[in-house]
């Protein structure tokens, strides 16, 4: 029999959950689900290295504790957030801003919505007692302790519905801003539903307002992509240098649906992105691409679970990591092909570039195949910059850092080029250049 001793941290968080329960939206079944989720988290506690999926990201050692829930943003916090939003604005998108875990309508763009597009704060949906949407927003697996904790503590988010046949004219941009003056944790959860024959682009960004330190961002995203629909997804993590970002996304595809996603991490002291994609309809296609650009003592973990549940589906995974100083990059990618998923075509490739002797990259690609008529493969490489190419470029007058920057841009370019929108691709390239310039 396993006996789990509750630590002082566990008791403190349990007390905090009881104290803030009146701030958490949703009653009835949602309150029960929150309680069950928190109990599931309490039984497990922070994940540690003895759990295989968390072998390289031991939160008990790296994060140690969950901070108190951030207070609702006041005027000063909103003003600080507004400055960040203005500075990081992207032209031609519909902005949806979350500040310290709360939806900020005054900073968001909710006017002139496309016909067939509905956007509501999660808090509003839960308080209104919308049983169907509430159930979908909280339909998560409590076996993952951090997803369970997010479900228990989520204060707000956005619920986006796109009706059948609607193709959005503007990308949706969810902006997460940490603005609390004191160290705190923020918990958000968002739901995106695409109907049949729809098309949309979703951008997610994470930033810190000036003066915000030592915060924790816990985010969850649940996406359902209908038959013959397409979603392009871009995720950029530029959190503060001492922040913790623990995020998860659960994506389900219908028949002949297409999901193209790109994620890049340049910020946060510690980050973990857990992405679960399920091909639930025949003929669906998935492209997942990611880049870690990290230095100092940063720790960035991308964990991907690609589930081929039905026949005739394709998936491609490309991941690149550039690791400098004493930073640590982790990529765990698992592709599972179910017994009925014949004619699956799935391939995964991860490459890491180490820029110092103390940098570390752990790559763990996995295949679990239970069908016999499939085409599957994976690979992983780790190495340093090509010294002959560096010599060639420096011999033609380029300084060493500039030569390195050009080679790094070429290395990550394969993943960045998968972004369909030219404008959004430039946004990702600009974020990469900011990292390169700071390194120089």
pLDDT tens-place string over residues 355-414 = 999 999 999 999 999 999 999 999 999 999 888 888 888 888 888 888 888 999 999 998
Averaged pLDDT for residues 186-197:
97
Check residues 396 and 8 and name the one with the higher pLDDT: 396
Averaged pLDDT for residues 70-92 = 94
pLDDT per residue as tens digits for the range 299-336: 999 999 999 999 999 999 999 999 999 999 999 999 99
What is the phi-psi region of residue 137: left when phi exceeds 0, alpha when psi lies from -120 to 50, beta otherwise?
A: alpha
* Sequence-distant (≥ 6) Cβ neighbours of residue 396 within 8 angstroms: none
Helices 400-416/422-439 angle, 10° precision: 150
Question: How many Cβ atoms sit within 10 Å of the Cβ of residue 275?
Answer: 23
Query: Are the C-beta atoms of 11 and 42 separated by less than 8 Å?
Result: no
* Main-chain phi, psi angles of 135, to 5 degrees: -65, -40
For residues 61-77, average pLDDT = 93
Task: Say what the pLDDT of residue 137 is.
Answer: 80
Mean pLDDT lowest for which of 8-17, 187-196, 225-234, 328-337? 8-17
Residue 299 · residue 62 · CB < 8 Å: yes
Alpha carbons 261 and 253: distance in angstroms, whole number:
13
Three-state secondary structure of the chain? CCCCCCCHHHHHHHHHHHHHHHHCCCCCHHHHHHHHHHHHHHHHCCCCCCCHHHCCCCHHHHCCCCCCECCCCCHHHHHHHHHHHHHCCCCCCEEEEEECCEECHHHCCCCCCCCCEEEEEHHHHHHCCCHHHHHHHCCCCCCCHHHHHHHHHCCECEEEEECCCCECCCCEEEEEEECCCCCCEEEEEEEEEECCCCEEEEEEEEEECCCCCCCEEEEEEEEEECCCCEEEEEEEECCCCCCEEEEEEEEEECCCCEEEEEEEECCCCEEEEEEEEEECCCCCEEEEEEEEEECCCCEEEEEEEEEECCCCCEEEEEEEEEECCCCEEEEEEEEEECCCCCCCEEEEEEEEEECCCCCEEEEEEEEEECCCCCEEEEEEEEECCCHHHHHHHHHCCCCHHHHHHHHHHHHHHHHHCCCCCHHHHHHHHHHHHHHHHHHC
126-135, 162-171, 287-296, 346-355 — which is least confidently predicted? 126-135
Q: Which pLDDT score, from 0 to 100, does residue 132 have?
A: 80
On average, the pLDDT of the chain sits at: 92
The predicted pLDDT at position 23 comes to 82
Neighbours of 438 (CB within 10 A): 10
β partners of residue 194: 162, 225
Q: Which residue has the tokens 């609607």?
A: 166
Determine phi and psi for 117, rounding to 5 degrees.
-110, 130
Per-residue pLDDT tens digits for 149-188: 999 999 999 999 999 999 999 999 999 999 998 899 999 9
Q: Which residues pair with 265 in a beta bridge?
A: 237, 292
Encoded tokens for 174: 């969810």
- Categorize the per-residue pLDDT at 7 as very low, low, confident or very high, splitting at 50, 70 and 90: very low
The pLDDT score that the predictor gives to residue 20 is: 78
- As a whole number, mean pLDDT of residues 61-86 equals 93
Res 2: pLDDT: 36
For the record, the structure tokens of 115 come out as 């016909």
Residue pair 104/98 in contact (Cβ under 8 Å)? The answer is yes
pLDDT in tens, 18-34: 777 778 888 788 888 88
Using the predicted structure, report yes or no on whether residue 262 has a pLDDT greater than 50.
yes
pLDDT for 213: 85
pTM of the model: 0.93
> Residue 155 and residue 416: Cα distance in Å, rounded?
33
CA 410 vs. chain centroid, Å, equals 24
166 neighbors 195 (Cβ within 8 angstroms): yes
Better pLDDT: 196 or 142: 196
Enumerate the β-bridge partners of residue 273.
247, 302
Of 13-17, 113-117, 123-127, 228-232, which gets the smallest average pLDDT?
13-17
- Higher-confidence residue of 259 and 392: namely 259
């Amino acid at each position: 029999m396993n006996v789990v001793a509750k630590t002082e941290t566990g008791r403190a968080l349990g007390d905090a959950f009881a104290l803030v329960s009146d701030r958490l939206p949703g009653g009835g079944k949602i309150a029960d689900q929150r309680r069950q989720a928190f109990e599931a988290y309490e039984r497990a506690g922070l994940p540690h290295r003895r759990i295989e999926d968390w072998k390289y990201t031991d939160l008990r050692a790296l994060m140690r504790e969950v901070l108190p829930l951030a207070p609702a943003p006041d005027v000063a916090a909103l003003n600080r957030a507004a400055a960040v939003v203005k500075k990081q604005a992207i032209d031609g998108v519909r902005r949806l801003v979350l500040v310290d875990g709360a939806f900020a309508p005054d900073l968001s763009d909710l006017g002139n919505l496309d016909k067939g597009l509905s956007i509501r704060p999660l808090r509003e949906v839960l308080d209104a007692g919308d049983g169907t949407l509430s159930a979908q927003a909280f339909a998560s697996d409590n076996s993952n302790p951090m997803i369970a904790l997010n479900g228990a503590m989520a204060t707000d988010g956005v619920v986006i519905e796109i009706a059948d046949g609607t193709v959005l004219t503007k990308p949706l941009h969810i902006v997460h801003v940490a603005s609390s003056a004191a160290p705190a944790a923020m918990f958000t959860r968002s739901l995106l539903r695409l109907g049949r024959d729809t098309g949309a682009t979703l951008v997610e960004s994470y930033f810190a307002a000036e003066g915000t330190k030592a915060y924790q961002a816990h985010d969850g995203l649940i996406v359902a992509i209908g038959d013959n629909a397409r979603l392009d997804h871009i995720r950029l993590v530029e959190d503060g240098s001492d922040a913790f970002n623990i995020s998860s996304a659960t994506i389900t595809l219908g028949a002949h649906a297409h999901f193209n996603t790109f994620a890049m991490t340049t910020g946060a002291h510690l980050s973990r992105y857990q992405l679960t994609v399920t091909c639930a309809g025949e003929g669906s296609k998935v492209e997942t691409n990611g880049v870690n650009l990290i230095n100092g003592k940063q720790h960035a973990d991308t964990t991907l679970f690609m589930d081929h549940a039905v026949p005739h589906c394709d998936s491609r995974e490309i991941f690149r990591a550039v690791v400098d100083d004493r930073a640590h990059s982790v990529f765990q990618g698992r592709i599972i092909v179910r017994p009925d998923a014949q004619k699956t075509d799935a391939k995964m490739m991860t490459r890491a570039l180490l820029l110092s002797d103390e940098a570390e990259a752990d790559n763990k690609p996995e295949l679990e195949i239970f069908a016999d008529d499939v085409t599957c493969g994976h690979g992983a490489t780790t190495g340093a910059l090509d010294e002959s190419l560096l010599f060639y470029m420096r011999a033609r007058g380029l300084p060493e850092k500039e030569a390195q920057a050009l080679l790094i841009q070429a290395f990550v370019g394969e993943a960045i080029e998968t972004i369909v929108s030219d404008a959004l691709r430039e946004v990702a390239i600009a974020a990469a250049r900011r990292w390169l310039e700071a390194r120089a």
